[in-house]
Chains A and B, each alone.
Chain A
Amino acid sequence: MARVVFPDHLRQHTNGTEELTVVCDSFRSLVRKLDSDFPGIEEVLMKTAVAIDGQIYQDAWLEPIQPDSEVFFMHRIEGG
């Protein structure tokens, strides 16, 4: 199961949950699973960057997630 970590600023949407494990094979399936557990979180996560196994994505919708993947949600990065 993939390990999913929420930073502090997202925990208001996860009832305080910091970390959980999820069975999923893609970022899309992860988000849908999370939205069923935490209704409304999909909209928030779509505005958030994510790191999957160390690689940072601004939009990871179709990215695969392995059973041993680590998924970290994080602030979206912009720049000058």
Chain B
Amino acid sequence: MAEAVDLKAIGTRPVRPDGVEKVTGRANFGADLNLPGMLHGKILRSPHAHARIKSVDLSGALAVDGVLAAISGKDIPGGGDLGDNVLANEKVLYDGHAVAAVAARSAFIAEQALDQIKVEYEVLNPVLSIDDAIADGATLVNESQHTNGDTSQPASNIAAVTKFERGDVDKGFAEADAVAEGEFRVPTAHQGYIEPHACTATINEEGKATVWCCTQGQFDVRSMTANCLNKQVSDIRVIPSEIGGGFGGKTTIYLEPVAVKLSEISGRPVKMVMSREEVFRATGPTSATLCRVKVGAKNDGTITAATAWLAYEAGAYPGAPVGPGCMSVLAPYDLENFRIEGLDVLVTKPKVAAYRAPGAPQSMHAMECAIDDLARKLGMDPIDLRLKNAADEGTVAPYGPQFPAIGLRACLEAAKVHPNYTTPPAEGQGRGVAVGFWFNIGMQSSAEIRIAENGAVTIMEGSPDIGGSRASMCLMAAETLGIPYENINAHVGDTEATGYCNTTGGSRTTFATGMAVIEACEDIIAQCKERAALTWELDVDQVDWEDGQAVPKPGVNADVKPLSLADIARSAGRTGGPLLGRASLNAQGPGASFSVNWTDVEVDRETGKVDVKAFTGVQDAGRAIHPSYVEGQMQGGAVQGLGWALNEEYIYNDDGVMENAGFLDYRVPVTSDMPMIDTQIVEVPNPSHPYGVRGVGETPIVAPLAATSNAVRDVLGFRINDLPLSPPRVLAAIDENE
């Protein structure tokens, strides 16, 4: 691995390659594409949270002048639960579930045509909470769902149960001098990406479709769309646009198969753009949770036992992120005795989708609050208690394996001496501390390096850029090739223009696609050495690559001038043709990331409003390729976590209809709500990456929930277990406690 002192490009903060296009408004997002003859598609959505579909009559819509196609669930024949979520078949399972769709010459006509579709429903009881879903005699969301697939047991809304256990929990609690426990609820929260889902699709007479869309993964859109329509992936080309935020919410599909099908029927391109209300009602937020945790420790702070019972709402179909929730809840700690149980629970709400560090914020909110309470009972500094029990290299993680080199201890030690921590909170303010964790992932990536005649470098890769990754790719290429950053550009290709890449998410892109870019650059260097050897009439093993030039190795007797990448590219026709480097890999060893956050808050005791006055995040990035984008990820994740802690929640009425499907009533933080989010990057290099990279995008959202709860506990003198800490909840708690 390259030592930090040797690095020239990595660690600098150049302007991003996509910056000019974005700040000038030229960049094309999902809804920006228009094609000749294009139709506009619209979706009819269920007004009921739970109902059986008795019939769908499209004839009224098809009779509307200007309507060229209309479809219902039977037109999406594949995809299983995914296809049923795209267009419902037998039942609607949440308010806003798609039932039918039309394509018309204008969006206005399409909206009018939706009113002419007749759907006959048999309305069923909604299932709106974990408590209702797991109660005896609960209404079943899916009558054929059995826990863990065990058909010997009655059908249940509990789709799966998962457990992790080590040691003797009862003995551990018996040895504890202090115990903290509680029940904590975290509400449904949406990723809140500014750009709604949008796509345009066209299909030709040979059945070959092209889809333009905003997505975190064009290859997954291709396979999921093909699956829903029983087509081959080779029948579909997916071209990703720039993306106006995803945060995990654009790792699945909603519109694409519908647009392709409408295009197939009408013979025209079809564009579909969700409204904000549709985004809230019908796309996947993250799970609401109910968590019961308990933790005990000796007087010296040694944690002797912990338990966690974690129930996650999956929405209408199985697949809540309860597994990662269970695996992360105690990941920061080196424990001998614990028991973790997780439930994946069906409710009549939208199927959840990934949201930054899926599953971790909810379970770690509960445990980090309990750890804070434990520190109070023991009279210990909350960072000292965590340092006393911190997982380190060699610690056996609660989910089984031993941690390799990790940066939790380094983060805690950096936090302990940080001036923002050594300075006490201002009078009237409270402070809360919490730690965050995410596994990070690697997976498959490809990259090509193309060299122009003047030596300019183009990177072609397949990972949509949701956080400045093109700049990071250029920096790693500059470092590897030894050439200026300004000579390199990076492009995200469509499914037919670049090699396969798994979806951008899980904080994999800078790690995994970065590794592919580095290997592709090494391929270029090897080719350049061969070309130089041919030029100089030397053996290739007599040639080195130094500072972006081919040079004879020390001791080689050759009276030649070094050849730059531009020199070699200019004469490439004489030495074998254009320079083209490539790499594909399945990246392993992504390296877990830990963070420490603390926040200072004030509480208005007359209104219950919580104001965040200061926030500091310390996080292990392995190595920060472009520190500004690492800090940006830390700040963005912190703000999303603070919003979830303070205000964000889905509000349903008794019939299961969402009542706050818009940004006026679903309140995300705005700039005036936030203090400066202060950051400190810790670098404990990941030994599995050539430059030491760890993913950084997931971890920052994890700790702000508990850090905020703990700060409010500090200032009020009592704990409010449930989120959000919105003015009504805080005011009610103040009234109750004072």
Residues on A close to B: CB < 8 A? Answer: 5, 7-9, 12, 51, 53-60, 63, 70, 72, 74-80
Contact = CB atoms under 8 A, between A and B. Distances in A.
B162 A75 contact: yes
Interface string B291-321: 0000000000000000000000000000001
Contacts of B246: 80
A61 to B, nearest CB: 9
A79 B248 contact: yes
A7 B163 contact: yes
Interface in B131-189: 148-150, 160-165
Q: Which of A56, A58, A79 has the most CB of B within 10 A?
A: A79
Contact of B162 (A5, A8, A59, A80): A8
A12 B589 CA distance: 29
B697 interface: yes
Interface string B471-509: 000000000000000000000000000000000011110
Query: Among the interface residues A53, A56, A63, A80, which one has the most CB atoms of the partner chain B within 10 A?
Result: A80
Interface stretch (B96-104, B400-408, B706-714): B400-408
Interface string B520-537: 000000000000000000
A64 B101 CA distance: 51
A56 to B, nearest CB: 7
A75 B165 CA distance: 15
Contact of A77 (B403, B404, B441): B441
Contacts of B402: 53-54, 70
B647 interface: no
Nearest to B150: A12
A55 B588 contact: yes
Nearest to B396: A54
B465 interface: no
Nearest to B326: A75
A5 B165 CA distance: 12
A74 B327 CA distance: 9
Contact of A80 (B358, B586, B588): B358
B446 interface: no
Nearest to A55: B589
Nearest to B354: A80
A54 B148 contact: no
Contact of B401 (A8, A56, A59, A79): A56
B507 A79 contact: yes
Contacts of A54: 401-404
A79 B588 contact: no
B404 A80 contact: no
The 9 closest A-B pairs by CB, nearest first: A79-B506, A80-B248, A75-B323, A72-B400, A51-B401, A8-B163, A54-B402, A80-B356, A9-B162
A55 B589 CA distance: 6
B323 A79 contact: no
Given A74-B399, A79-B508, A79-B698, 19 more contacts: A7-B162, A8-B161, A8-B162, A9-B160, A9-B161, A9-B323, A12-B149, A51-B399, A53-B401, A55-B589, A75-B326, A76-B323, A78-B358, A78-B506, A79-B438, A79-B506, A80-B191, A80-B246, A80-B697
B70 interface: no
24 contacts: A7-B164, A8-B162, A8-B164, A12-B149, A54-B403, A55-B401, A55-B589, A56-B589, A56-B590, A59-B443, A60-B588, A70-B402, A72-B400, A74-B327, A77-B439, A77-B441, A78-B324, A78-B354, A78-B358, A78-B505, A79-B248, A79-B440, A79-B698, A80-B355
Contacts of B590: 56
Contacts of A80: 191, 246-249, 251, 354-358, 505-506, 697-698
A9 B318 CA distance: 14
B586 A59 contact: yes
Given A7-B163, A56-B590, A74-B327, A79 B505 contact: yes
- Of the listed residues B323, B438, B698, the one surrounded by the most CB atoms of chain A closer than 10 A to its CB is B323
